[in-house]
Amino acid sequence: MIVYLTGGVRSGKSSFAMELALQKSQHPVYVATSRIWDEDFAKRVKRHQDERGPEWASLESEKDIHLLPLTGKVAVIDCVTLWLTNLFVAFEFDIEKSLAAFKAEIDALVKIDATLIIISNEIGMGVHAETEAGRKFADLQGWANQHVAAVADEAIMMVSGIPLTLKSMK
């Protein structure tokens, strides 16, 4: 089962995802996709780590998330934006290669017998990027989000801490 969770920065995505995971499992897994780019980002990562209790297992992977031991687990994958950044850099800012690699990973995740709560950001709803690379990335993020939402069993958008159901199996 794939639960897609999207929204803006500080919309409550991670907290909601962690609560949802704890409702579904006593021992969920947190999959961190980020690289530590600078000191400010290290502080953000530390805050996320401090929010999780001892019931959480943690895995870290910048890409190839589908190769992690997730079978039979409830896992929060946080987040698509950072995961895409890693692919975008690895493929030297090539949108087509980055998107193809991302879609292949998502399609492989769908086949795993697990409950995966995949967090993403809606960056296209914000300020228009000033740089060409920024505009390319916003496009990549939008297409990636569409793909995850299409294959997801459920899709939820967080706005000001409030979950809005976009798609539901119910």
48 has catalytic annotation: yes
**Catalytic residue from among 27, 48, 66, 128:** 48
Whole-number Å distance between alpha carbons of 73 and 155: 19
The answer to whether the CB of 152 falls within 8 A of the CB of 110 is: no
Residues sharing a CB contact under 8 Å with residue 95, sequence separation 6 or more, in sequence order? 88, 136, 139, 140
Q: Where would I find the beta strands (DSSP E) of 48-161?
A: 57-60, 74-78, 115-119, 154-159
Q: What order of strands is seen across the sheet that includes strand 154-159? A: 57-60, 29-32, 74-78, 115-119, 2-7, 154-159, 162-167
For tokens 């687990």, the residue is 73
- H helix intervals, 12-131: 13-24, 39-51, 80-90, 95-110
Q: Return the active site residues.
A: 48
